[in-house]
Amino acid sequence: MKSPTIAAISTPPGSGGIGIIKMSGPQAIDIAHSVFVRIAHCLKIPVRSEDDEDIVEFESRRLVYGHIVDPETGHVLDEVLLAVMRAPHSYTAEDVVEIQAHAGPLILKSILSLLLKKGAILAEPGEFTKRAFLNGRMDLTRAEAVIDMINARSLQAVDMAMAQLSGGIAGIIESLKHDILNLLSAIEAAIEFPDDVSEDIGLDALIVSVEEKILPRITELIAKHDDANFLREGLKAVIIGGPNVGKSSLLNRLVSRERAIVTEFPGTTRDFIEDSFTTRGVPIIVTDTAGIHDAPDPVERIGIEKSRELMAGADIILYTMDAGKPVLSGDLNLFQQIDGKKVILVINKMDLPEDKILFLLPQQWRDAPRMETSALYNQGIDALKELIASMAFDAAGKMDHAIVPNIRHKTALEKVRNGLATALSGLKNGASLDLISIDLHSSLNKLSEITGENIDTDVLDHIFSRFCIGK
């Protein structure tokens, strides 16, 4: 059964110079023939017959000038340029038609309605790219790169999407699959043909291959996600500290607007407040949290618990202290809880008179990057933004190229790593070759999920639901 022909407006809503309507499917060219006329004589076009001289034989990948006309009424909808990309040399590997019209919302909707009336159906979100994947035009990593390219929030994110769109991730996955298949071939040959294969199947060589060749590459890919995925998704910076140290004022200064309510009373912030800013091309998602302390109010305690959850998921923590207060044991305990995280110590309220500054840097905090600020007078804020970006780029700078797995890839790679670690342990400890084979097959299947050769339908639908209609 042939798939239906889909159509959608592919450009963003709103008025503009050009808007594009796209069709893909077996009827796309026939529908285009039915509504496109090369010359509109005085814009009065009668209903035409099949042998009308204005019917165009569309040459693939060539723009044709003409008009979109309702064949039933002869009404001219717009003056357009039309291009045909014939299968299989098109984005979806199907016949594709693109109509470049004037980008008025009513014009585009009227043309789309006409195409639907002539037999097309409205495309679902991401359906053009989904068809490209299903028709073998691209693997799943390249399909995901399309939406990453569209949603890129930094030039580095564009580079990452382009590397993935060019097959960077897919090439690495195929190489890993090839290496695991070589392991499986040796092990399954020993299982299936025990009389023909020596008892010594080269276990030492297999162990070396897993331990020194395959696992390090997978671990490196996972680490690259952890170090540089902020370029794609945005870096998560969480402001923590005790009550009334200026966390909300700091958020307002960072995002350059009055986002959080600021009062002189402790405990004003009971829920987290999130906003964003950009520095050195890096999107920073910054979150103001409830002050962490022993609170009798049950509502405030819920906010404090949420603060602790946000701490766990942060890329960088802005641990904010009040320069007018001494460091207490609770401050030391809180700092100890975030050990292992990237932390910037923000010493706020440095506008206080010198005799009012009671903060003394504890010995155990001396290695932490720190910044003195006055959120009240906007002092030190630009330097703090620069420090945040520098710490982010220090991690990302470890990359030697732009290939960074996304969270789906990372999750699958972690399962691959676990399966290979179990197989490696079995090889070292003389486990059954059948069990080792099962672990290797599991790892191979997880790698195939990344490129889409072995993917659950629900997962596939979820991936393409992130796309806009028309892409």
Residues 161, 219, single domain; the answer is yes
Residue 399 has pLDDT above 70, yes or no: no
Range 67-71 contact pairs with CB under 8 angstroms and sequence separation of 24 or more: 67/36, 67/37, 67/38, 67/39, 67/40, 67/43, 68/35, 68/36, 68/99, 68/101, 68/111, 68/114, 69/35, 69/36, 69/37, 69/40, 69/45, 70/35, 70/114, 71/34, 71/35, 71/47
User: What's the pLDDT band for 260 if we cut at 50, 70, 90?
Assistant: low
Predicted local confidence at residue 119, as pLDDT: 95
Residues 312, 375, single domain; the answer is yes
Residue 50 has pLDDT above 50, yes or no: no
Residue at token pair 């966390």 = 247
Residues 97, 217, single domain; the answer is no
Q: In whole angstroms, give the CA distance from residue 184 to residue 436.
A: 9
Residues 214, 236, single domain; the answer is no
User: What's the pLDDT band for 55 if we cut at 50, 70, 90?
Assistant: low
Residues 206, 241, single domain; the answer is no
Single pTM value for the model: 0.78
Predicted local confidence at residue 397, as pLDDT: 61
Q: In whole angstroms, give the CA distance from residue 136 to residue 63.
A: 26
Residues 236, 384, single domain; the answer is yes
What CATH number should be reported for the domain holding residue 173? 1.20.120.430
Once rounded to an integer, what is the mean pLDDT over residues 382-387?
94
In a domain, 136, yes or no: no
Residues 185, 215, single domain; the answer is yes
In angstroms, what CA-CA distances link 54 with 48, 49, 58, 277?
9, 10, 12, 54
User: What's the pLDDT band for 38 if we cut at 50, 70, 90?
Assistant: confident
Residue 157 — left, alpha, or beta (φ > 0 → left; ψ -120 to 50 → alpha)? Answer: alpha
Residues 154, 114, single domain; the answer is no
Residues 274, 358, single domain; the answer is yes
Q: How many distinct structural domains can be found in the chain?
A: 3
Once rounded to an integer, what is the mean pLDDT over residues 98-122?
96
Close Cβ partners of 400 (under 8 Å, ≥ 6 residues apart): none
Q: Quick: pLDDT tens for 206-219.
A: 999 999 999 999 99
Paired sense of beta strands 76-85 and 64-69, if any: antiparallel
Once rounded to an integer, what is the mean pLDDT over residues 112-130?
95
In a domain, 137, yes or no: no
In angstroms, what CA-CA distances link 296 with 102, 109, 302?
62, 58, 11
Close Cβ partners of 291 (under 8 Å, ≥ 6 residues apart): 241, 242, 243, 244, 245, 247, 266, 267, 269, 304, 307
Residues 257, 391, single domain; the answer is yes
Residues 329, 248, single domain; the answer is yes
**Domain end marker among 60, 88, 123:** 123
Inter-residue contact 344 to 381 (CB < 8 Å): no
User: What's the pLDDT band for 19 if we cut at 50, 70, 90?
Assistant: very high
Q: In whole angstroms, give the CA distance from residue 18 to residue 103.
A: 5
In a domain, 135, yes or no: no
Mean pLDDT rounded to a whole number for the chain: 86
More confident residue, 459 or 50: 459
Paired sense of beta strands 235-241 and 316-322, if any: parallel
In a domain, 133, yes or no: no
Residues 74, 119, single domain; the answer is yes
Once rounded to an integer, what is the mean pLDDT over residues 56-73?
90
Predicted local confidence at residue 371, as pLDDT: 95
Percent of the chain residues topping a pLDDT of 70? 86
In a domain, 471, yes or no: no
Q: Which residues of 115-142 are buried (b: 16+ CB within 10 A; e: fewer)?
A: beebbbeebebbbbbbbbbebebbbbbb
- For residue 160, what are the domain limits? 144-228+404-465
Predicted local confidence at residue 292, as pLDDT: 59
Q: Which amino acid is at 185?
A: S
In a domain, 110, yes or no: yes
In a domain, 129, yes or no: no
What CATH number should be reported for the domain holding residue 290? 3.40.50.300
Once rounded to an integer, what is the mean pLDDT over residues 454-466?
86
Q: Quick: pLDDT tens for 311-324.
A: 878 889 999 999 99
What CATH number should be reported for the domain holding residue 14? 3.30.1360.120
Residue 334 has pLDDT above 60, yes or no: yes
* Helices 168-192, 407-429: crossing angle, 10 deg rounding: 30
**Domain end marker among 90, 123, 156:** 123
Q: In whole angstroms, give the CA distance from residue 12 to residue 245.
A: 44
Q: Quick: pLDDT tens for 268-280.
A: 444 568 888 888 8
More confident residue, 360 or 256: 360
In a domain, 249, yes or no: yes
**Domain end marker among 396, 426, 453:** 396
User: What's the pLDDT band for 266 if we cut at 50, 70, 90?
Assistant: very low
- Other CB atoms within a 10 A radius of the CB of residue 160 amount to 29
